[in-house]
């Protein structure tokens, strides 16, 4: 079996067990997995029980796919990926983006990518929710490198509008409905797993970055390769190195994510309800 066959096998396994194939999928970053647990009529797939699906071993990533309905979003069927794997865990980019490929073959048309990110823009506050307008890929590789399988998409996909303007406007409308003004910005992805140095953050700010993280960008590239419309949301769980006079740690990231989870879930429900 080749890569496409592995993806198809996983998609077929999910399709056989859910009452309705979702057209909307959400990838939940560090500490943001509670949204998956809020879905009703849920069918849960631990990642290790899905064929060929890579495990997520990072603290704050539950490692399961939940297909269910969001009651506060019109009862729409949603696939929620509670956790992702990362390049820094030793995975290649085909493995990192496997779940997005599965969502594409399953029939998902709209993908919401979320992450915990460091605030590079000094105007941001810890706990802010940022709409991603664009990204900079500094991971050092691209998930489309290698032979192209036309069953997934064209060899040279356009990246002029990776993050859908329509969906960004929808996010703004959902934010206004809950009296939440959402900042917009550019997300830059680095390899990790070490946090960036203050000098690296100054460099990233100079080239136009507003937030920094270790995920999302490969998933967005693969989604656009498959013709999926993408929205990106970053939870600014910490200010990046050198912005504040304190060291960074994953516990602080998780604590901020826990603090804003109610607001985050409400925003997701508002966005999905308007799709």
Q: Catalytic site residue 71? A: no
What is the β-pairing status of strands 184-190 and 211-213?
Answer: parallel
3, 52, 89, 91: the active-site residue: 89
52, 91, 184, 250: the active-site residue: 250
Q: Catalytic site residue 116? A: yes
37, 88, 91, 148: the active-site residue: 88
62, 82, 86, 164: the active-site residue: 86
Q: Catalytic site residue 47? A: no
Q: Catalytic site residue 56? A: no
Q: CB within 8 A of 243, min separation 6: which ones?
A: 119, 120, 122, 201
Q: Catalytic site residue 89? A: yes
Q: Catalytic site residue 178? A: no
Phi, psi of 202 (to 5 degrees): -60, -40
How many Cα neighbours within 13 Å face the side chain of 222?
Answer: 26
10, 11, 25, 30: the active-site residue: 30
70, 73, 116, 128: the active-site residue: 116
11, 36, 56, 61: the active-site residue: 61
70, 73, 189, 214: the active-site residue: 214
Q: Catalytic site residue 225? A: no
Q: Catalytic site residue 238? A: yes
Pick left, alpha or beta for residue 198 (phi over 0 → left; psi -120 to 50 → alpha; otherwise beta). alpha
Question: Measured between alpha carbons, how far is 43 from 66 in angstroms, rounded to an integer?
Answer: 6
Pick left, alpha or beta for residue 33 (phi over 0 → left; psi -120 to 50 → alpha; otherwise beta). alpha
Annotated catalytic sites, by residue? 30, 61, 86, 88-89, 116, 214-215, 238, 250
């Amino acid at each position: 079996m080749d890569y496409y066959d592995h993806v198809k096998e996983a998609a077929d396994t999910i399709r056989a067990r859910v009452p309705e194939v979702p057209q909307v999928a959400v990838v939940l970053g560090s500490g943001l997995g509670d949204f998956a647990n809020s879905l009703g009529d849920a069918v849960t797939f631990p990642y290790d029980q899905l064929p060929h699906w890579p495990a997520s071993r990072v603290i704050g990533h539950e490692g399961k796919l939940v297909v269910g309905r969001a009651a506060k979003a019109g009862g729409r069927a949603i696939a929620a990926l509670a956790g992702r794997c990362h390049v820094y865990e030793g995975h290649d980019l085909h493995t990192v983006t496997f779940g997005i490929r599965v969502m594409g073959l399953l029939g998902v048309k709209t993908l919401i990518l979320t992450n915990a990110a460091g605030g590079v823009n000094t105007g941001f506050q810890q706990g802010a929710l940022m709409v991603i307008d664009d990204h900079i890929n500094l991971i050092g590789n691209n998930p489309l490198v290698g032979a192209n399988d036309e069953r997934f998409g064209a060899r040279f996909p356009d990246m002029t509008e990776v993050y859908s303007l329509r969906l960004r406007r929808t996010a703004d409308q959902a934010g206004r409905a809950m009296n939440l003004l959402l900042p917009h910005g550019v997300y830059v992805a680095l390899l990790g797993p070490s946090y960036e140095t203050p000098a690296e953050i100054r460099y990233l700010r100079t080239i136009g970055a507003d937030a920094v993280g270790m995920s999302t960008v490969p998933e967005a590239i693969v989604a656009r390769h498959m013709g999926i419309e993408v929205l990106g949301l970053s939870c600014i769980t910490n200010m990046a190195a050198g912005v504040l006079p304190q060291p960074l740690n994953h516990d602080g990231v998780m604590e901020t994510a826990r603090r804003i989870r109610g607001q985050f879930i409400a925003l997701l429900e508002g966005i999905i309800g308007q799709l």
